[in-house]
Amino acid sequence: MGKAGREIVGKSADETIKLLNKALADEWLAYYQYWVGAQVVSGKMRPEIEDELKEHADEEKKHAEMLAKRIVQLGGKPILEFSDLIKQANCGYDAPKNPSTAAIVAQNIQGERCAIAIYSSILKKLKGSDDYITFNLVRKILEDEVEHEEDLENLAEDLKG
C-alpha cells in the first residue's frame, strides 16, 4: 500500500484487515454455497431459482475480489489457506443437504441475513474513521447483500403461491 493511503487509515489498519479477512471468508463460502446450491437444487421453479443462485454466486465472488484487493491495499494478505475460510468465517457454511427449492432459498436467506449483520457491524466500526475507501466498499457490499435478501424473499413468496 502507498504510504499516504495507509496513513489515512492509521493504527486501525491491522484491525480493519482482520475484519475484512473474516468477511472475505464469508464471501468465498457464500459463493460456494450459492454455486453448489445451483448445481443440486430441484423442485418447483427450479430454473428460475438456479439462475438466481448463479447470479448471486457471481456477485459474492465479486465481493471477495473487492475485499482481497482492499486487504492488499492496506498492506495485508488475504486468507491464503482454504482451510482457514471455515475457521475465520463469521457466517459459516450451510451445506445444501436438502436440495428442494424451498429449503435452498430459506438457507440462503439466513446466509444473507448474517452477511447484513456482519457488514452493518463493520460499518459501525468504521463510522467516524478517516478510512472512507473501506467504508464505501463495505457500504456497497452491504447494499448488494440487502438486495440479495429481498430477491430470495420474493422467490420464497413465489414458491408459496
Q: Is residue 6 part of a domain?
A: no
Residue 9 is predicted with a pLDDT of 77
Q: Is residue 76 part of a domain?
A: yes
Q: Is residue 5 part of a domain?
A: no
**For residues 64 and 156, is the Cβ–Cβ distance under 8 A?**
no
Q: Is residue 130 part of a domain?
A: yes
Measure the CA–CA gap between 31 and 148, rounded to whole angstroms: 13
Residue 1 is predicted with a pLDDT of 59
Q: Give the global pTM.
A: 0.94
Give how many domains the chain has, as a whole number.
Answer: 1
Q: Is residue 3 part of a domain?
A: no
Task: Report the CATH number at residue 43.
Answer: 1.20.1260.10
* Per-residue 3-state assignment (H helix, E strand, C coil) for the chain: CCHHHHHHHHHHHHHHHHHHHHHHHHHHHHHHHHHHHHHHCECCCHHHHHHHHHHHHHHHHHHHHHHHHHHHHCCCCCCCCCHHHHHHCCCCCCCCCCCEHHHHHHHHHHHHHHHHHHHHHHHHHHCCCCCHHHHHHHHHHHHHHHHHHHHHHHHHHHHHC
Question: For every one of its 161 residues, what pLDDT tens digit does the chain have, with 9 covering 90 and above?
Answer: 567 766 777 778 999 999 999 999 999 999 999 999 999 999 999 999 999 999 999 999 999 999 999 999 999 999 999 999 999 999 999 999 999 999 999 999 999 999 999 999 999 999 988 899 999 999 999 999 999 999 999 999 999 98
The residue type found at 5 is: G
Residue 17 is predicted with a pLDDT of 96
For residue 52, give its domain range: 11-160
Q: Is residue 42 part of a domain?
A: yes
The residue type found at 135 is: F
Q: Is residue 154 part of a domain?
A: yes
Task: Give the gyration radius of the chain's Cα atoms.
Answer: 17
| Four-CA torsion 53, 78, 65, 1, nearest 10 degrees | 160
Q: Is residue 74 part of a domain?
A: yes
